[in-house]
Amino acid sequence: MTTEQVIGLSIALVIMFLGLAGSNPLVMAAAVGHKLYFGPTGPAWWVLLILGLITALSLVMDYLTTVYGAKKLGATWRGATGAIVGALIGIFFSFPGIIAGPFIGAMLFEMAGGRDAKESSRAGLGATIGLLAGAIGKVLCCVAMMGLFIINVIYRCMQTPTSQNLEAVLR
């Protein structure tokens, strides 16, 4: 690996570790940026395809686990919808909003549908538990994406001759 490749891999990994907090699209963007800059020594196209599929899967899984958690603890379709709306609004209120958003959304939508506070709060608790399960799943997807990226890039760098090796071969 050349110095430039080591620096490029290090920058991509720093960006990916920032994405480890649950932003799989950030991990995907770092991999695509690495490929665009380094070309043949970047990740293979099939790796980028797999990373894209894992990214899409993690985003869908995040919403589905929230809905499933709410449904499991007795939410109706209103509570499940409220959990998603609450999660989307909660994004704008940092970490406390991300945790409380699905709970409040599911609870309010259930109460608007005529359910009492106890049933509504159970639906909100289910949405929150589902959100946390989805977050754990997203982190695991990030780790898998980073592992695949690192292994593929290092393998491809070792298989591509550097300019010094190429000069020695040509002599």
Which residues have C-beta within 8 Å of that of residue 111, sequence separation ≥ 6? 117, 120
Residue 130 lies in a domain: yes
**Which residue type, as a one-letter code, is found at position 96?**
P
pTM of the full predicted structure? 0.73
70-102 pLDDT, tens per residue? 888 888 888 888 888 888 898 888 778 878 888
Is residue 36 situated within a structural domain? yes
- Tell me which residue range forms the domain holding 55: 3-165
**65: in domain:** yes
Tally of structural domains, the chain: 1
Distance in angstroms (rounded) separating the CA atoms of residues 60 and 52: 12
Confirm whether 170 is domain-assigned. no
Question: For 30-56, how does the pLDDT look when each residue is reduced to its tens digit (9 = 90+)?
Answer: 889 888 888 887 889 999 999 999 999
Q: Nearest-CA neighbor of 55 among 144, 155, 147, 133?
A: 144
